[in-house]
Amino acid sequence: MLAERIHRVAEAGRLRVPEERAMAVLHAAGRGVTLTLIGDPKADPDLSVTAREAVLAAITTDAPAAPEPGPAAAAVTLRALLSETAALTEPERALMAEWLDRIAERARTQRQR
């Protein structure tokens, strides 16, 4: 269910990171919040709302166009829609997916420097 929802966000051009990374970040935050709330009865009841908003801000854009237009934004969106194209064979789609993931990941690591 998480993968399906993240995929729809990517298809809309609103994901700023690759789908796999978005799922990992969202899943990790959800688990962390859950364990914190279970383990600490005095934990802030708004913790889940704060964590959710922080994660959404980190993985999504405010508008369909990426805040920094360029190859990485295009790669993330095209990767989300790649399965819908009939112009490529399955092996070609797999290769294209690898390339698009690499473009998006390279841009992410360069922004972190």
Q: Which of 28, 1, 23 is nearest to 10 (CA)?
A: 23
CA 16 – CA 31 distance, rounded (Å):
22
Residue 78 has pLDDT above 50, yes or no: yes
Helix 2-11 vs helix 19-39: crossing angle, to nearest 10: 140
Helix 71-81 vs helix 90-112: crossing angle, to nearest 10: 150
Give the pLDDT of residue 69.
62
Terminal Cα-to-Cα distance of the chain (whole angstroms): 33
Residue 67 has pLDDT above 60, yes or no: no
What are 1-41's pLDDT values in tens digits? 999 999 888 888 888 888 899 999 999 999 999 999 999 98
